Amino acid sequence: MMIKADHKQWAEFVFDIYLRRLLKKSFYEFRIINELPAFDHSKSIIVTPNHFSWWDGFFIYWANKKLFSRKLYVLMLEEQLKRYWFFKKLGCYSIDLNDSRKMIVSLKYTMDLLLKSNNLVTIYPQGEIQAYDEKHIVLKEGLDFIAKKSAVDFHILPIAFKIHYANERLPIVYARFGKLLNSKDAAENPQLFKDEFINNLARINSEYSTSNFKSIL
């Protein structure tokens, strides 16, 4: 049986304090290097960050708190969520990539979440940790399934994160938003999302040093 999200306000209150201190201690700044696209607020959102570090879930939690302000859900490997059970109190739910039946249940649960317009669902399409400058990126098919089977139209937004050391003792976190996609378009042409996901990773590597940024830390 998959593990469902179980949001608790007390858990978010505790985690907000913990995460702010952790980010301040670990990073010099958290920089957004381009504008957040304008959303149709009647639609839910799937964000698709790159998966390159232990920090990834923390970054999306913080970005949601500072920029999106929606109810956050994060798809997480079942073995990891069993180990870090507290995260289900923050909106994490499980998927088992080794069990096709359980995987379908998780994807259908995701589609149920998309029925509520204020929800922001996080899916890591790479399925495993890869360097952000990985040359041969392979994406899982889960998002294609959701886009084709969903009962509602929703937004899809690629997000690229990068950690970079510069002149400060602590590294800087950079984030870049890709082009906002419509789920119907992605369902008709799956390559559309794949191209934009890869393009956004390439652009953060070439644009992260720009002086035009917004700090959210």
Contact criterion met (CB below 8 Å) for 174 and 166: no
Report pLDDT for 161: 96
Report pLDDT for 75: 97
Quickly count: other Cβ atoms within 10 Å of residue 140's Cβ: 16
Report pLDDT for 129: 81
Report pLDDT for 135: 75
Please state whether 140 falls in left (phi above 0), alpha (psi between -120 and 50) or beta: beta
Quickly count: other Cβ atoms within 10 Å of residue 58's Cβ: 17
Residue 127 has pLDDT above 90, yes or no: no
Q: Does domain 9-215 have CATH number 3.40.1130.10?
A: yes
Q: Please tell me the distance from the alpha carbon of residue 113 to that of residue 110, in angstroms, as a whole number.
A: 5
Residue 109 has pLDDT above 90, yes or no: yes
Give the Å distances, CA to CA, from 167 to 28, 164, 194, 206.
10, 10, 34, 18
Residue 35 has pLDDT above 80, yes or no: yes
End-to-end CA distance of the chain: 38
pTM of the complete model: 0.95
Residue 104 has pLDDT above 80, yes or no: yes
**Beta pairing partners, 177:** 159
Give the Å distances, CA to CA, from 28 to 49, 203, 212.
21, 22, 17
Q: Domain spans of the chain?
A: 9-215
